[in-house]
Structure 1
């Protein structure tokens, strides 16, 4: 495995190792009413993406075309989490998790660019 592949593999593996327990804990919080179903659907979709991260981690060269999609997965939570927190519509801890997602998005971008450059 090249250095670029090793970097990408580690980034995606650690993202999944972080994401699986953090997201899974959401299922153990009390859901006060059925209007929270979209939230649980989001959590489920995000958990599925943790599986995608693990697949990419196993063979980054083969799954390089999926890497740009993972950038958007991180962006979809990171930006709204910070925006809602700044407006006082979400707890400050939400912004922390949003910032972590944006940091992971940057690492995903770096991993993807390294893979693209190594293929050239």
Structure 2
């Protein structure tokens, strides 16, 4: 039972946190270009990234509702978190990452690790 609570809280917090961080960016295309030049030249990538990322936050909320049933979805959720965090680490080592992004990458790496723990401690519904 405790394992189920851990998974519910982990994915629930991740989903809400992600929605709070990502959704406002839908209205900040111009601001991003000012704060982190150059200007966004391919808005389809910017909005495409946000759309996919927001969809994943919704998936986290679905997983949180029934972790046992959606246990296998925890594995691609780990990939979602680690793909951003690891990419940011590599960009940091190449001196190509804006320092403002680093805390968010760290949070994603932490959440990815918590997702692995949730997966390992959640029994499948099947």
For normalisation by structure 1, the TM-score amounts to 0.88
Aligned equivalents of 2:116 and 2:40: distance in 1? 38
- Structure 2 segments unaligned to the other structure (5+ residues): 34-38
Q: Superposition RMSD on alpha carbons, in Å?
A: 1.7
Counterpart for residue 20 of structure 2: 21
Q: Deviations over 1:36-69 (max 9, x none)?
A: 3212211110100011000000000111111111
Counterpart for residue 63 of structure 2: 56
Q: Structure 2 vs 1, CA of residues 10 and 92 (structure 1 numbering), >3 Å: closer, same or farther?
A: same
- Structure 1 segments unaligned to the other structure (5+ residues): none
User: Deviation above 6 Å: which 4+ runs of structure 1?
Assistant: none
Tell me the number of residue pairs that the alignment of Structure 1 and Structure 2 aligns: 117
For normalisation by structure 2, the TM-score amounts to 0.84
Higher helix share goes to which structure?
Answer: 1
